[in-house]
Amino acid sequence: MKRQSAAATLALLLLMSSPALAWNPFRERPQPPVAAREPDPAPFVAPPPGIYYVTDTYVADVVTSSGPLTTYSTTTVHESTGSYARVLDTVGTGASSAFDGSAFNGRRTLGDGRSVAGTYYENYVLIDGGFVPISVVFFQDDAELARLVAVATRSPAVTASPPSLPSQAARSAAPACCPATRPVPMPASTPPPARPIRAGVSLLPVSAPLSSVEVLRGRAVALWPRAFVDDREVPVLTWALVAGDPGEALVLAGSGGAPFRTSWRRLAPPGAAYDLVFRMEVDLPDTGHRTADARITVIVRSPALEN
C-alpha cells in the first residue's frame, strides 16, 4: 500500500511539473557599449621583496671641503632608467663589508685610512620576466674633520702663540713726524711641532696594520701593536688593551716585543663586532715620550649551514 501511494505521488508530481523560465525585464533595451580594452604592452612582473624601481640614478661621488670639514656624498639625478635596485649592505666608517671591491665606483677612504660610510646597492634589469643583476654601486655618505685640527687640539705644543699686540708705550714712542706704523710682532721661537705618531695593529710583526680582521671562532690570533712616525716604524715600549672584549686573552698588557694573544669563543651580537683599543707608549729622541691609541675591529665568525 505504501509503495503504491509513493508511486502515485511521484507520478502526480511529474505530470504537474512545468519548466521555470527566467524572464529578463530589460531584454528589449539596447546593451550599453563596452569600451574595448587594449591589451597591456608588456606583462607586469612584480619585483620580489627588497627590489624596488629606481627613480634616482647615480651620477658621481662628490668630495667637498669646507674649512676643516670634508664631506663625502653622492650626487644623483631624478630619472628612471627602467632598472631596479636593492640594498646590499649599509656600512659605517671603517667597517668592512663583504661587498668591498665589488662596486664599480669603488669605496673611498678617509684621511686616516678608514673606509667611508655608505650603502651598497645592487642594480637589476628586467629580462624575460626575470631580474638579472648587472652592477653594484656604493653611495658614500660620510664626513670628517681634518686631522690637523685634531692634532692641534690634542697637542698644545704645536699651537702657535697668539700674536702680541703692540704695547701702548711702543705706540706712543713713534715719532710725530711720521705716520704711525704698526710694528710687526716677531714671533718668539717656538718648539718644532710634535711629529704625529700613527698607531696600528697588525697580525704579523712586519705586515701592514689593519683596521679590521675576520677570525674564526676559537682561532688563536696574535695582534701586534705598531707605531709609525713619518711612515717609519718606531719601537713600541709598552702596550695595553684599554677598551674592548679581550676574549680568552691571559695578558692584557705587555712590551713591544710581545703581541697580544687571544681567541674569541663567543660571537658578537648579529651585526656587531668587537672593537679593541690599544694604548702604546713610544719614547724616542725625536718624538719624546708619547702615547698613541690604535683601534682594530674584530669580526668573529663561525661555520654554519646555508639553506
Partner 1 sequence: MSWAQDDRGTALVLTLVLAPLLLVALAGVLQLGALRVAAARVRAAADLATLVAVNDQDDAELARSGALRLAADAADVAREYFARELELSAPLLDGAAEDIAAAADVAAYPSAPAYDARTGARYDRPTVRIAADVPVRSPIFGALVLRPVTVLHVIAVSSPR
Cα 270 off chain centre by? 16
Rounded least distance, CB 293 to partner 1, Å: 18
Joined grid coordinates for residue 260: 697580544
For residues 42-75, b (16+ Cβ closer than 10 Å) or e, as one string? eeeeeeeeebeebeeebeebeeeeeeeebebbbe
Kindly tell me which residue out of 115, 123, 140, 211 binds partner 1, with binding defined by CB under 8 A: 211
Q: Is 210 in the site for partner 1 (CB under 8 A)?
A: yes
The span from the CA of 138 to the CA of 140, in Å, is: 6
* Closest to partner 1 by CB, 75 or 207: 207
Kindly tell me which residue out of 45, 77, 87, 98 binds partner 1, with binding defined by CB under 8 A: 98
Q: Is 127 in the site for partner 1 (CB under 8 A)?
A: no
Rounded least distance, CB 236 to partner 1, Å: 18
CB 191: neighbour CB atoms within 10 A? 7
Q: Which of residues 183-202 bind partner 1 (CB under 8 A)?
A: 202
Kindly tell me which residue out of 63, 216, 252, 272 binds partner 1, with binding defined by CB under 8 A: 216
Rounded least distance, CB 276 to partner 1, Å: 13
Residue whose entry in the numeric block shows the C-alpha cell 668592512: 96
Kindly tell me which residue out of 70, 90, 93, 99 binds partner 1, with binding defined by CB under 8 A: 99
Q: Is 214 in the site for partner 1 (CB under 8 A)?
A: yes
* Closest to partner 1 by CB, 8 or 220: 220
The span from the CA of 285 to the CA of 198, in Å, is: 17
Q: Is 213 in the site for partner 1 (CB under 8 A)?
A: yes
Q: Which stretch binds partner 1 (CB under 8 A): 25-33, 91-99, 191-199, 238-246?
A: 91-99
The span from the CA of 245 to the CA of 297, in Å, is: 11
| Whether 140 contacts 118, CB under 8 Å | yes
Element containing residue 221 per DSSP (H, E): strand 221-229
Q: Is 229 in the site for partner 1 (CB under 8 A)?
A: no
CB 288: neighbour CB atoms within 10 A? 11
The span from the CA of 228 to the CA of 190, in Å, is: 24
* Closest to partner 1 by CB, 97 or 290: 97
* Closest to partner 1 by CB, 213 or 292: 213
Kindly tell me which residue out of 96, 115, 123, 140 binds partner 1, with binding defined by CB under 8 A: 96
Kindly tell me which residue out of 182, 265, 266, 301 binds partner 1, with binding defined by CB under 8 A: 301
Please tell me the total number of residues recorded for the chain in this structure. Answer: 307
CA distances (Å), 87 to each of 62, 84, 120, 262, 299, in order? 21, 11, 6, 35, 22
Q: Is 302 in the site for partner 1 (CB under 8 A)?
A: yes
Q: Is 203 in the site for partner 1 (CB under 8 A)?
A: yes
Residues lying near partner 1 in the complex (CB under 8 A) are found at 96, 98-99, 102, 202-204, 207-208, 210-216, 219, 299, 301-307
